[in-house]
Structure formats: structure tokens, C-alpha cells
Chain A
């Protein structure tokens, strides 16, 4: 029985989780670092616990502090949001051993899927297609180089422990390989504490398409459509949409079934996302599983009418999934733009500081998930996401128009503050994006044109 949910996160996602909890009549506990003491979620939550100073390692990543906070505030469940501890199997395990319901997949499943090499193996066994690549980590430079030569360039070197766009590197020519290999390994060792890397073929003009899945603990599961996240800058998504445009419905249905089959084969429970690359010939390849709610989950919510956080909480509480594949109807098109405190003119450098003027869009079929307000100070030490602007319309053209109109409403100003809004407008105005003939190289091309 879940009555009180501790939200082990900050920013917009903490607020988004809080909203669903409140709607469900659940008590909420916010945890916050010193830097976030004035945050919106701290004001909104039924209780708030100061868990540590600004550095995330001592607050939002501090497992004992979060667990103690749950005990102090008498929480019985923990929602980790995304990032921070959301994909940390140790955290999930500690929650369960402390009698707290962890809102996410079981620890042993996260452990396996969090290791990219292991995840690839498991998905191959479940029949999912993979890009040509090493099945295991390549721990010796010469061996890795020989392997890269054998599959042909360009290749991408990926840290087994990487994720969220970090710990990967594209190599276009054989002569660059050894240096990139050494650097990626060293970087992975430093950042993730795990220097293992593997190598796979890199597709320069692929689309990034991901499938949302939802599974309960009784073996029921659904796939909930495809999100296209091809508008990325260095593997950080800027614009996401569903359905994935200009891809045949039967291909998307096949990918949905493959995704569900893959995660079901490892005993997945909860909300998850299976990422694929789709090449111009419309072949698809498994990339990774994200064992958490995604930043871009609202687009799926808008076309399905399903509150994914409510589903996560119900599944975590042991309820049976109320949705079936047949009952799931998807209507229209939804688009999300990420408004970040980053300056597109300066290679997307973060622009923390005070927000003096803050007006965010509203109106029919416009959803804004944001934690900022006039007078809010964007902390320098966390991520730069200010707001997610999400629109729905009966079709993609309508959604693009609505998004353009909504972006025109945004007023965010402050000393030194710059946002991604001007760049988002350029994406929306781009012919390739409008006709859905773009791929994951779009942002790089737009930046080169600048």
C-alpha cells in the first residue's frame, strides 16, 4: 500500500511526479539540496527534507541521506524521476531492503540492462536486431582496432557503463581509432569507474526512434507507440515527437512488439523505453533500454491519454496493468521542445543565473512542465532544463503550427540568460524537419549553417 511518496529528484520532474501524486491523493515528500531550498517542489510538497549541500554527490546522489529522509518523513515509496539515482540498482535494492517501494524496475533487471554489453546480449537472445558490433567489451587496443577494421568505418566506441549520451565517440577513419579508443576508455574509467568499451558500426544518417513500454509484475505489458528523438545535439535531445513521422505503421508495430518482447524476456516491470536506430533503408537496430521515466514521456501521454507516472505508481504498488494493447488508442501527434538555459550562439554553453522575467506559454492543447518562475535562480550545478513545452494536435502539421505559436509566447529573461528557444525555432522552420526527411545529423547541420 502506497500512501506517501518521496520524490528523489528536483526540477521539473519532481514537480511533475508531485502533481500526479496529489491527484491520486498520495502524500508527497520532497528532498532538496541547499541550492534548491526555494524550489517549487519544496513549496508544493506536503513535507520537505533537506538532505545535503549543493553537490549532488552529497544530496541527490546520496543514498543514505535519501533513505534517512524517507524514514524521517514516513514515506513508503520512492519515485526516483530520471537521472540521479533513477537507474542505480543499488539504490533500488536498498529501498526494498528498507521496506520502501521503489518506483521502477527490479534491481537485478536494472543491473543487467544498465550494462550495455550485457543488455545487447540479452536482446539478441530475445531476437532483437543489433548493429554489427562487438558482443563483449574489447579490452585490448589491438583487438579493438582489428574488430573495427573488420566491420568497417565509421564506428562508434561506447562505454559499457555509459548512458544519457555520455561516454561515446564516433571514429570515421581507421587511423583515428587507437587514440579515440584510449581516450574513451580513460574517460569511461574516470566518469563511470568502469573502463570497458565496445565497438559497433555507426550510422551517420539514422533516425533515433524509441518505444515506450509498460509492464506489470504479472506478465502483462503494452507498447505505447514510438517517439522520434532525432533532433539531438551531441546525443542530447532537443525536440521529440510521437508518432515517429514518415515511418510505416507496420514497421513501428513490429518495433513495438520487439521492444516488449525484449524487456519481457528479462523480467522487466514498470515503465521503460527501448531505443532503436532506424536507417534510411528502414532497418532497425536495438541500442539500449532506459530503465526509468524519460524526459520526453509527455508526448506519449498526450497521444495515449495515459498518465505514465500514475501507471508507474500503480505497478509499483502491485496492481495489475489496466491497459491492454487493444484498448490503447493513439490519437493525433504530439511534439516536445526542451527549453534549456543554454546559449545556442556559444555552442550551447549553460547560462545559469537569475530569471527576472518569466512567461511560459499556455492555451488549448499546450502543456508546459516547468519548475521556473520569475525570481528563480538557475543553479549552476544541475542540468540546464528550464521547461518542456509540449503540444498536441490532430496531425503533425497542426502540431508544428501550434508549437511555433507557443514558442512565440515564451519570455524568459535575466542577466546573462540565454535559452534554446531561438534554435528550436530554427528546427521548426527547417524544411527537412517539416517534411520529416531529417535524421540525427540535423542539429550539427544547422549549427554548421549558422
Chain B
């Protein structure tokens, strides 16, 4: 009936549940933030101490609400459990395509909005990134193509992380697309410390394949490739803080004219 994607720092991704990309139209997003050395959620989910059930429930409820807020359509079902901490959203195969509430509606007042999950709910096959090959106009930083958000005078600003935020994903020159950070957060290459990274330079990835984890306030957000292709660059070291819109991976799209040169 529905596939399940499990994401956790400890428990790796996945299991028998079929890849999100396979589950078009229906999937459960099952986030399971098991306390690990990197997520140490001392205050909210106090690992050793007897955590106050109420505060845990509140935190989980917030996360659930936030996930709902960021899905591009309302889930058919939302399950919140607190024992082993489970937040489950599922979508009916043909749910209506929009919240239809407007930005100023409850999204703005939801108590704890979270950044969007890395990818559209699994099963939305269309890549979010700009179409490769769209030329950026002069003066427009490559990468702003497709965001539609910025004035033409935008120039990259210095930032605390040291690299200019690029809120989009296409590099017309090189024919590359970029997986960008959907939020400020900590970028992890691997499902847990010491584990093999999700992908390495040279690996081929499918659209919808998980390539990283972004930790945003103890919530592990799976980062997925938008397009199929070869990974040509991992843009930041493991466990680095990144800003919204920063490039995480460069991908040479499969079937694109350009060859995968740089690494």
C-alpha cells in the first residue's frame, strides 16, 4: 500500500521499504531522531534522564506540525507516537495538490515551522532545480536562475559560513546541477559517524536518492538528489554548518552533453 522511508542517524536509511523514488504518489516519511553522539538532544529528549513526557510530546508534536507545514500537500494521515518517537505522514495516491491556505495563513502562525524537507515528498518526480542550460543573465550570479526570488542587483553576500549563499541549483556554464541546503543546518555525509558516506565523488545517483543528512535542531532531514547523474563535487566537509541555499553537491546530469570532468 505505502512505502516507508526511515531516516535516522543510527538506523541508516531505508530498509525494506523501497526507495522514495519508487513510491510515487504515496509514501510515509518516518523520522526517527534517535539520540546519537551527534544529535545529543539533551534538553528536549534527555537521553539518560527521565525526560518529561509532556515536553517530549510537545517537541514531537511541533516536529509533526512542521513537517505538515512543509509538505506541499496535506497528508492523508499523520501519526505521532512518543515511546520510540515516531512521526509519520502519509499521502494518499492522488491527494489534492496544494494546502490552499496561503503563506499568511496558518503556516505563519504554526508555532514551530521547520524548514522544508530536502526533497518534495517522495513521488513527486519533477526536479525542483532549475533546468540546466538556462543561461544566467549578465550580472546575475549563476545559480539564481530558477529561484525567481531575487532582484537583478543581487550580489553574493559575505556570510558567516564563508561562501556565498546560492539559492538555486543550476550552473549553466558547466552543465552541472547542485543539490542545495533546504535550511540552515549541519551537513552530514554519512548516516552516522564513522559510517560510509551516502555518496562519494564519482558515484552515480538516481533522482530521489538520499545523498546526505541535514541536521536542523536535532531533526534529521534527508537530502536527496533532484536529478540523476554523477556526483562531481562534495562542496563541504562532513559535519559542517551550512546556510540556506548553499551548494552541497555538484552533479553532472546523466545524459547531459557535458562530460563529468571536474571533481
B44 adjacent to A72 (CB under 8 Å): no
By the criterion CB–CB under 8 Å, are B160 and A88 in contact? no
Which residue of chain A has the shortest Cβ distance to B154 in the bound complex?
Answer: A37
Within 8 Å by CB of A62, from B115, B147, B165, B167, lies B115
What residues of chain B lie closer than 8 Å to A193, measured between beta carbons?
Answer: 106, 109-110
How far, in whole Å, are A67 and B115 apart by their CA atoms in the complex? 12
Q: Which residues of B contact A98 (CB under 8 A)?
A: 43, 217
Q: Do the beta carbons of B167 and A51 come within 8 Å of each other?
A: no
Q: Contact at B154–A64, with CB atoms within 8 Å?
A: no
Which of B147, B217, B244 has the largest number of chain A CB atoms within 10 A? B244
Question: Once bound together, how far apart are the Cα atoms of A68 and B114, in whole Å?
Answer: 11
- Per-residue CB contact flags for chain A residues 29-67 toward chain B (1 = under 8 Å, else 0) read 100001101100010000111111111111101111101
Cβ of B106: which chain A residues have Cβ within 8 Å of it? 190-191, 193
Contact at B167–A34, with CB atoms within 8 Å? yes
Q: Which residues of B contact A431 (CB under 8 A)?
A: none
Which residues of chain B (163-208) have a CB below 8 Å from chain A?
A: 165, 167, 183-186
Within 8 A of B (CB), among A61-89: 61-65, 67-69, 71-73, 88
B107 contacts the other chain (CB 8 A):
yes
* CB of A319 within 8 Å of the partner chain: no
Q: B241 in the interface, Cβ–Cβ < 8 Å? A: yes
B219 at the interface (CB under 8 A from A): yes
Complex Cα distance A53/B168, Å? 11
Report whether A57 and B241 are in contact in the complex, using a CB–CB cutoff of 8 Å: no
Residues of B within 8 A of A381 (CB): 103
B129-161 residues with Cβ-Cβ distance < 8 A to A are 147, 149-151, 153-155, 157-161
CA distance A53 to B165 in the complex (A): 11
Which B residues from 88 to 114 make CB contacts under 8 A with A?
101, 103-114
Give every chain B residue within 8 A of A34 (Cβ-Cβ): 147, 149-150, 167, 244-245
The answer to whether B160 touches A52, judged by C-beta atoms less than 8 angstroms apart, is no
- Name the residue of chain B whose CB is nearest to the CB of A84: B108
What residues of chain B have their CB less than 8 Å away from a CB belonging to chain A? 43-44, 62, 66, 69-70, 101, 103-116, 147, 149-151, 153-155, 157-161, 165, 167, 183-186, 216-217, 219, 241, 243-246
Q: Rank and list the top 3 A-B pairs by shortest CB-CB distance, nearest first.
A: A97-B43, A50-B165, A64-B217
Q: List 18 A-B contacts (CB under 8 A).
A: A37-B165, A38-B151, A47-B160, A48-B157, A49-B243, A57-B69, A57-B113, A58-B70, A63-B112, A64-B112, A64-B114, A68-B184, A68-B216, A72-B160, A72-B184, A72-B243, A73-B160, A375-B153
